[in-house]
Structure 1
Amino acid sequence: MHVIATAGHVDHGKSTLVRALTGMEPDRWAEEHRRGMTIDLGFAWTTLESGPTVAFVDVPGHERFIGNMLAGIGPAPAVMFVVAADEGWKQQSAEHLAALDALGVRHGVMVISRCDLAAPASALATARHELATTSLNGIEQVCVSAMTGAGMDDLRAALSRLVAALPPPDRERAVRLWVDRAFTIRGAGTVVTGTLTAGAISAGDTLAIAPGEHRARVRGVESLKAHLPSVQAVARIAVNLRHLPVSQIRRGSALLTPEAWDTTSRVDVRTSGELPHQVLLHIGSAAVAAQVRPFAADLARLTLVSPLPLQIGDRLLLRDPGSRRIVGATVLDVRPPELVRRGDGALRRAELAAMTGQPDPVSELRRRRVVTVADLRRMGCPAPAGVAPVAGDWLLDPAYRDELQARLAAEVDSYAASHPLERGLPVEAARQRLDLPDRRLVDALVAPPLAALAGRVLRAPNRDILPPEVASAVETIRADLATTPFAAPDADRLASLGLTPAKLGAAVRTGALLQVGDGVYLTPEAPDLAVQRLAELPQPFTVRDVRMALGTSRRVVVPLLQLLDRANLTRRVDDVHRRVVDQSRPDT
């Protein structure tokens, strides 16, 4: 299916043309029939002789219903622009064209209608002139009379050529369906309609509702009055939502693929002209008031009164509430930084000036320094090629990583100087000092001459400074622990190897061994290995569960768990149970 919106001045024959093309009545309300004009959006469809099905979104042309008009043309990928031969170019013709140009609509057909009432030459010449400096420059023009049928076959042929030239939709993309109608059907519940421009919606899907925190399950989907198991873009679609009151969704809401979109109340944009201090922002079927902070004649920050699901590259239409002026805008950043210090605005202006409005993963990573692949995708940006996550889903800008590693080494040395009796900087303390969002990023930064042992970061141990006989005995213990890493040698075994408390202390200081508790020694790698095994247990777990999982005794398990607790690797749930701490959310 292909979706085409109508556009043009009131009473220039848009609805009449749609009726002639489809045999359907697009005007839905009794008030529309009484007044003889389209007030709200109408919908009709037909199958062209060339094969494609075309759905028309018929929009009002009257200036008082400009918001309804924008809700119709916003999501549509193409337009049928209508100018009456007997009246020519009019005020709403210009306003509709300005809106289409601001949205960057490039595909369409110009129809000179009512050619039975006047010669089309003058209206056609004016229309060509008006379109010449807009995004619709060069679209095909057709002269018709819906009353006599003259030119209608030419219009159908032009529509066939139009839809054949439309770019293919991205059916793998996350769904963002802008709702243009929401109502209730007895026995079915809430139903919403909209133009699906990307992705697919199937019965049984769970979709997020924006704005807000609601989610709803899809009970059924319908397109062109046919119930279908699934509908792919592009399509006019009706979605029956289960257990969602109609009061929680309205025109301008959006159905979203969960976790694939962020809603934002603040965006930085590039505009096609200067803006007043307040604007009405239109995207899809949504209309939201926004405050404007200008950075330059073509750069501004918009603060929205209600959050919207936006991505880099989105086209916005900004309308001055006090006039008929319309300005187009391209979203540059959906997560812009706070501007709190003197000079932040000038720095931001320079940064925005270099942005193109096209998703650029390399630039986004360099600018944000640390970000997840999922966050980039929610902003509308793919992961940068050739840059692998350093921990989990986290990406680090290479230059920032070098800076962080130098800072981490300095923090380790500073902590060692102020805490001479402690063995290294706790990983959680390092995370806080480096202002990182995830403990795993600290581990990813550790490289020689640093080492991560037992939840702490320290200068890498140097076992070579142990006397040869002590080093040999320690290596024997390490060899024993290689096969049974939690079977800590007992006092007799340590004594048989000549490892006195003083020699064991030296081995611990050099990092060859880790003292877990009184007389309990393991390799420094044991805590991390223990956490890996404990994470595989049903959570929470008991001391007995740990003893069985690690294949050792309470003599080892109790002090080992205490060590893991202190390192914030495990946490008590109650007097009996513990759980492994999620390192992506260490504070929970």
Structure 2
Amino acid sequence: MDDAYFTIGMAGHIDHGKTTLTKALTDVDTDRLKEEREREVSIEPGYAPLETKDGSHVSIVDVPGHERFIRQMIAGVAGIDLVVLVIAADEGVMPQTKEHFQILEFLGIQHCIVAVSKIDRVDAELLDLAIEDIKESLAGTIFNGGPLVCVDSVSGKGIDQLRQQIVFELEKTEFRDAYGSFRLPIDQVFTVKGQGTIVRGTIYEGIVQKGSTLTILPGGFKVRARQIQVHRQDKKTSRAGQRTAINLGGVNKEDIQRGDVLVASDHFLVTNTIDVSLQFVDQLSSPVKQRMPVKVHTGTSEVMGKIIFFDRNEVNRNHDAVLCQIRLEEDIVVRRGDRFILRRPTPVETLGGGWVIEPKGSKYRFGEATVEMLQKKKEGTPDDLVKDVLMKHKLLDVKQLIQYTSLDEHAVKTAVDKGVESGHLLPVTGNKYALTNDFTIMKDMVTGQLQYYHRDFPMRPGISKAEIVQSFSGQFPKRLMEFGLESMLASGAIQKDKRFLALSDFTPHLPGKWKAQMETAIGQLEADGLQVKKWDDYMVHKTVPKKETVELNAYLIHTEQAYPLTNEHIIHHQPFTDALAVLKVNTGELFGLKEAKDALQVSRKYLIPFLELLDQHKLTKRVGDKRKWVI
């Protein structure tokens, strides 16, 4: 297990021998603070390396046991993999010991060893009674039936057996993922003369490298990891599960506090509203009421907030998990699945604990519909969560999926790969993803829009790409729309005529209702040659609506059956072609107005616009007061 890194919590009531036991196991005195030595009480968590024969990298956290230091105790056990619960044989299970049971269980600690300490202070009969009392207290908890080792730290009895039991339990423990984005909840901040600001904590996930740029959240300060130490030894890297100290450049000690989180990516969300699954303690001193002030401990942070219920107004006794929300007075950094403890500020007591369903909660209506929504989120697999956020946002990259699902990077990438392989997810340009079903719906909607458009405007070539993208802007992101349209063009589902899009089998045409009258007007236009009347005059005796008259004009020009001569006149393609041929035959390489008029026999009213039209079509080119043939 050379690549395994674990943190062990040494927990228990005050004066039950945690610090002495830690020293017996590691030969390190964790009562490092002067006031701790003077009072013989652990105020802050102390840390020591434990050497094991199998090569595992293990840190022991000596967690404060006094009730007044419960905050530090919660911060200490956050991020541990195994608990050694120390209970003195001469005192047995104490009220704070039972509270520690609850906190450890709420924090999701799965592995526990009970160390019955100070066994040399009691006789065999009292030891048996203490063991029986411990077993009864553990009944009904997740630690029921767990291993129990009797030790005496002064004489050394049972220390080797405890060390062996720790190794055995760690072999069954899944060590923390080092492949996610680096995250370290800070529980200690201090300065060392000549070195600057140093933070310490247990790395929840990922790896940190010396020299890397990091961010302190929720403040958003950018810092650099100048030096990394694990148990006073310099390291180039440190990884999930390791107790680590990092010397930070670019920040002052006053800018950081316990509860801040050091991260290496922008995947992590800063939030003040969390949707949670909350399990209450078996007995509350008084009911927990709607919007009651509560104190939330998660990671190393401690924040005041209000509890929001959606299906009740109070909780007195409840054995089932309650799906609710906590609105906080300060920003915190959490991910889905993070554990928390809830405490009453006054009278001080542990109310319960649970885990974060949604780190970035919103305001919801009171009622069963909200509870059902939260239940669906709670039960959702990574595949479900990725699908749900894509249903809402339509197009996201991996970074955004990590943020919106609050899953770790590995879980998101696994879900995305699985979705792409099964065909449920579609890779889109820019390393973004969409639901294949949404993509199909979008294409069907585009097809439907074009069908209706061709029916209503049969003479138009289609809809501009920009207009289609804009028309669906409220339903689909621009990039997804553009990708979809390009896909439809590539597959032949639609066609493109200049800037216009149309169905692949569509050709602009005269509407059946007005076709005969329109064909008559077109024939008259052709017969008039270059000396055409105003366009409206061709339609004046027709019953064709004004709107259709305008549409026909645009249709003839777009299909090049006619060309615009002036704002009010158009000429038919055939007379234009005929006149072009006559003019070409009857003029030289350079010609002026007189030569053109002699050739075409039309007045300047029509001649000048016709010649300008030739220039526009790049058939001729102005040279002074003459024109030169280009063709």
TM bracket, shorter-chain basis: 0.7 to 0.9
Q: 1:348 aligns with which of 353, 370, 385?
A: 370
Which SS does the other structure have where 2:428 is aligned?
A: coil
Counterpart of 2:326, as a letter, is L
Q: 1:331 aligns with which of 356, 361, 375?
A: 356
Partner of residue 365, structure 1: 387
User: Post-superposition shift, 1:73?
Assistant: 0.3
Partner of residue 302, structure 2: 287
Counterpart of 1:29, as a letter, is L
Q: 1:136–1:453: structure 2 CA closer, same or farther, 3 Å change rule?
A: farther
Partner of residue 440, structure 1: 479
User: Post-superposition shift, 1:206?
Assistant: 1.3
CA distance in structure 1 between the partners assigned to 2:377 and 2:561 by the alignment: 53
Q: How far does the alpha carbon of each residue in 1:431-475 deviate from its partner, in whole angstroms, 9 at most, with x for none?
A: 5754257411112343489758699774336575689xxxxxxxx
Q: How far does the alpha carbon of each residue in 1:379-407 deviate from its partner, in whole angstroms, 9 at most, with x for none?
A: 10514423232343433334444444455
Once the two structures are overlaid, the 10-residue window that deviates more, 159-168 or 429-438, is 429-438
Q: 1:361–1:334: structure 2 CA closer, same or farther, 3 Å change rule?
A: farther
The within-5 A match list for 1:4-403 is: 4-118=8-122, 119-273=126-280, 276=289, 277-296=292-311, 298-322=322-346, 323-339=348-364, 345-356=367-378, 359-366=381-388, 368-369=390-391, 370-372=394-396, 373-378=398-403, 379-380=406-407, 381-382=411-412, 383-384=415-416, 385=418, 386=420, 387-403=425-441
Counterpart of 1:290, as a letter, is G
Residue pair 1:332, 1:357 contacting (<8 A) in 2 also: no
Gaps of 5+ in 2: 282-287, 312-320, 511-553, 563-615, 618-631
Q: How far does the alpha carbon of each residue in 1:467-513 deviate from its partner, in whole angstroms, 9 at most, with x for none?
A: 9xxxxxxxxxxxxxxxxxxxxxxxxxxxxxxxxx987621699xxxx
User: Post-superposition shift, 1:64?
Assistant: 0.7
Residue pair 1:407, 1:434 contacting (<8 A) in 2 also: no
Q: 1:93–1:421: structure 2 CA closer, same or farther, 3 Å change rule?
A: same
Q: 1:388–1:135: structure 2 CA closer, same or farther, 3 Å change rule?
A: farther
User: Post-superposition shift, 1:168?
Assistant: 2.8
Taking structure 2 as the reference length, the TM-score comes to 0.68
Q: 1:426–1:266: structure 2 CA closer, same or farther, 3 Å change rule?
A: farther
Partner of residue 459, structure 1: 502
User: Post-superposition shift, 1:325?
Assistant: 2.7
User: Post-superposition shift, 1:148?
Assistant: 1.8
Q: How far does the alpha carbon of each residue in 1:104-125 deviate from its partner, in whole angstroms, 9 at most, with x for none?
A: 1011211011111123222222
Q: 1:294–1:405: structure 2 CA closer, same or farther, 3 Å change rule?
A: farther
User: Post-superposition shift, 1:271?
Assistant: 1.6
Which SS does the other structure have where 1:212 is aligned?
A: coil
CA distance in structure 2 between the partners assigned to 1:375 and 1:391 by the alignment: 15
Q: 1:371–1:75: structure 2 CA closer, same or farther, 3 Å change rule?
A: farther
Counterpart of 2:434, as a letter, is L
Residue pair 2:7, 2:79 contacting (<8 A) in 1 also: no
Q: 1:240–1:86: structure 2 CA closer, same or farther, 3 Å change rule?
A: same
Gaps of 5+ in 1: 468-500, 510-554, 557-588
User: Post-superposition shift, 1:55?
Assistant: 1.6
Counterpart of 2:374, as a letter, is L
CA distance in structure 1 between the partners assigned to 2:161 and 2:243 by the alignment: 25
Counterpart of 1:129, as a letter, is E
Counterpart of 1:324, as a letter, is E
Counterpart of 1:122, as a letter, is L
Residue pair 2:89, 2:127 contacting (<8 A) in 1 also: yes
Once the two structures are overlaid, the 10-residue window that deviates more, 177-186 or 82-91, is 177-186
User: Post-superposition shift, 1:338?
Assistant: 4.2
Once the two structures are overlaid, the 10-residue window that deviates more, 436-445 or 239-248, is 436-445
Residue pair 1:415, 1:425 contacting (<8 A) in 2 also: no
User: Post-superposition shift, 1:374?
Assistant: 2.1
Which SS does the other structure have where 1:311 is aligned?
A: coil
Residue pair 2:79, 2:241 contacting (<8 A) in 1 also: no
Residue pair 1:8, 1:96 contacting (<8 A) in 2 also: yes
Counterpart of 2:127, as a letter, is P
Residue pair 2:451, 2:503 contacting (<8 A) in 1 also: no
Q: 1:450–1:165: structure 2 CA closer, same or farther, 3 Å change rule?
A: same
Which SS does the other structure have where 1:24 is aligned?
A: coil
Counterpart of 2:309, as a letter, is P
User: Post-superposition shift, 1:51?
Assistant: 3.7
CA distance in structure 1 between the partners assigned to 2:363 and 2:449 by the alignment: 27
Name the larger-Rg structure. 2
Residue pair 1:224, 1:237 contacting (<8 A) in 2 also: yes
CA distance in structure 2 between the partners assigned to 1:195 and 1:388 by the alignment: 38
User: Post-superposition shift, 1:160?
Assistant: 1.9
Q: How far does the alpha carbon of each residue in 1:200-253 deviate from its partner, in whole angstroms, 9 at most, with x for none?
A: 111111112111221211111111111111122321111111111112212111
Give the aligned length. 475
CA distance in structure 1 between the partners assigned to 2:560 and 2:112 by the alignment: 78
Residue pair 1:102, 1:326 contacting (<8 A) in 2 also: no
Q: 1:237–1:508: structure 2 CA closer, same or farther, 3 Å change rule?
A: farther
User: Post-superposition shift, 1:310?
Assistant: 2.0
CA distance in structure 1 between the partners assigned to 2:561 and 2:400 by the alignment: 42
CA distance in structure 2 between the partners assigned to 1:43 and 1:80 by the alignment: 14
Taking structure 1 as the reference length, the TM-score comes to 0.73
